[in-house]
């Protein structure tokens, strides 16, 4: 077994979570320019999910009843859907060497 070394960074704190989402979106945008095929679908899906998570965070921290978030990320999700063929499937590779199944946990 290897040794895992964890280096803790500065605590972002709740006020800076939106900035964390912005940084993630900036990195995903860079990756999006390089992604092809199924990876392009995955990256766009991650972008849509991150946009939605950021919008939800902004709605509830502090509670903001004026800001709708239902459609956040919908444009990217639609773009990802457009890249999929009609028989596109998300395949989870599972083998005897797998020690866990993250999706089954959900």
Residues 11, 92: Cα–Cα separation, whole Å: 34
Residues 6+ away with beta carbon under 8 Å from 69: 52, 55, 56, 58, 59
- The answer to the question of residue 103 being in a domain is no
For residue 20, give both structure tokens.
């964390």
**Residue 90, in any domain of the structure:** no
In angstroms, rounded to a whole number, what is the distance separating the alpha carbons of residues 74 and 72? 5
- Taking the whole predicted model, whether its pTM rises above 0.85 is answered as no
Q: SS in 3 state form for 54-80?
A: HHHHHHHCCECCCCCCCCCCHHHHHHH
Number of folded domains that form the chain: 1
37: in domain: yes
Is there a domain that residue 48 lies in?
yes
Summarised one tens digit per residue, pLDDT across range 23-65 is 999 999 999 999 998 888 889 888 988 988 888 888 777 776 6
Give tens-digit pLDDT for 55-96.
Answer: 888 877 777 666 655 577 777 778 888 887 777 766 666 666
Would 46 be classed as within a structural domain? yes
Whether 5 is in a domain gets the answer: no
On whether residue 102 sits in a domain, the answer given is no
Residue 14 per-residue DSSP state: G
- Judge contact between 63 and 51, C-beta under 8 A: no
Task: State which residues form the domain around 70.
Answer: 15-83
Q: Is residue 99 part of a domain?
A: no
């Amino acid at each position: 077994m290897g040794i895992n070394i964890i280096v803790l960074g500065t605590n972002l704190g709740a006020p800076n979570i939106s900035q964390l989402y912005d940084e993630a979106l900036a990195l995903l945008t860079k990756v999006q320019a390089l992604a092809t095929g199924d990876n392009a679908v995955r990256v766009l899906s991650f972008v849509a999910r991150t946009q939605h998570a950021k919008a939800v965070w902004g709605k509830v921290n502090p509670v903001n009843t004026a800001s709708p978030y239902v459609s956040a990320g919908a444009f990217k999700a639609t773009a990802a859907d457009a890249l999929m063929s009609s028989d596109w499937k998300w395949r989870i590779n599972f083998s005897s060497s797998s020690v866990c199944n993250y999706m089954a946990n959900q």
